[in-house]
Amino acid sequence: MGAVELLQFALAGLKNGAIYALVALGFTLVYAATGAINFAQGEFYMLGGMLSVWAYAGLGLPLPLAGLVGVAMTALVGGVFELLAVRPRKDGDLLAIIIITVGGSMVLSSAARHLFGPLEKALPAFTSTGTVSIFGAVLEIQSLWILGLTTLAVVALWYLYNRTSLGRAMRACAVNRDAARLVGIDPRRIVTVSFMLAAALGALAGLAVTPLTQTAFDVGPSVGIKGFAAAILGGLGNPIAAVAGGIVLGMLESMSIAFISSTYKDAIALVVLLGVLFWRPQGIFGASRREKV
């Protein structure tokens, strides 16, 4: 195997990894705010693509505006979902919230199927369908957009967490909900905002990928599982770890195809995931957390 091929496998892994990373970021945000896993995260990815297609093809908006509408509407759906379905469960019972999100994901995909039909839909590439050559390996220009948007999302999240009062409030809630309440932060508001941000991030991924793969009402669950695995692999609750987890998972899959077999790529990735969790239950990059008795 030549160096060019190896680079090509690495680029493919990086591209898939960036997609998983954006979805994983959504899992991490909701986990930080509620301690629960939001299994509707994959549906936000689906809605981002579907609503953008609707705004572009249905309303005839120019692509950048249509994308913005798609992401904003998905964020809104995320907020409404939290207010209507998650918030009424006042005791914050984790199992109940997880099951609520599973149900929510079914409602969202059924609704999308009825509103937009069962067929896959396409979007044009953001700027060009061309490719760039990197030392002989090629990458679609749309993939550069995916990598760029993922980087932008990480920088924006870093800024939010470290430089704004909302971000500090979110971090405070993640560390200790009751203490945060004592200093005047409303944890319920933080949870709603987290769901909206998670929805927007998922939607951004769905929007960026649609020009490459098309989208349909049923694309959510498989991407959701990959994003969840990436978040666990990196370490839940930490945005940088989620991104790293996504990239590691994408690379693992690509290298499995390169050196072992494409038939078992998902199985290999899952075996590695299990192995890592035996070794470090908190994820590769997650801070170890010891509960005091």
Q: How far apart are CA 186 and CA 180, in angstroms?
A: 8
Q: How far is the CB of 88 from other proteins (least distance, A)?
A: 4
Contact 251, 14 (CB under 8 A): yes
Pattern of binders to other proteins over 65-94, x per CB under 8 A? -------------------xx-xxxxx---
Q: State the minimum distance, in angstroms, from the CB of residue 12 to other proteins.
A: 4
Question: Using the rule CB under 8 A, which residue among 131, 160, 161, 240 binds other proteins?
Answer: 131
The CB-of-100 to other proteins minimum distance in angstroms stands at 9
Shorter beta-carbon distance to other proteins: residue 102 or 156: 102
Burial of 282 (0-12, 13-18, 19+ CB in 10 A): middle
| Closest to other proteins by CB, 107 or 155 | 107
User: What is the Cα–Cα distance from 133 to 35, expressed in whole angstroms?
Assistant: 43
Instruction: Say if CB 248 and CB 234 are below 8 A apart.
Output: yes
Q: Which of these segments, 148-156, 216-224, 227-235, 269-277, binds other proteins (CB under 8 A)?
A: 216-224
* Phi, psi (deg, nearest 5) at residue 207: -65, -45
Q: Does 148 bind other proteins (CB under 8 A)?
A: no
C-alpha distances (whole Å) from 182 to each of 179, 185, 186, 192, 194 are 5, 7, 9, 19, 20
Query: In whole angstroms, how close is the CB of 179 to other proteins at the nearest point?
Result: 24
Give the Cβ contact number of residue 86 at 10 Å.
Answer: 23
Nearer to other proteins, 107 or 179 (CB): 107
Any contact of residue 240 with other proteins (CB under 8 A)?
Answer: no
Please report whether residue 136 would count as binding other proteins according to CB under 8 A: no
Please report the sign of the dihedral spanned by the C-alpha atoms of residue 55, residue 243, residue 287, residue 274: positive
- CB 227, CB 201: distance < 8 Å: no
| 13 near other proteins, rule: CB under 8 A | yes
Q: From start to end of 126-260, where are the E strands?
A: 131-134, 137-140
Q: How far apart are CA 177 and CA 160, in angstroms?
A: 19
Q: How many residues bind other proteins (CB under 8 A)?
A: 52
Question: Can you give the binding site for other proteins, defined by CB under 8 A?
Answer: 1-2, 5, 8-9, 11-13, 15-16, 19, 84-85, 87-91, 103, 107, 110-111, 113-114, 117-120, 122, 129, 131, 138-140, 209, 212-214, 216-219, 221-223, 253-254, 257-258, 262-263, 266
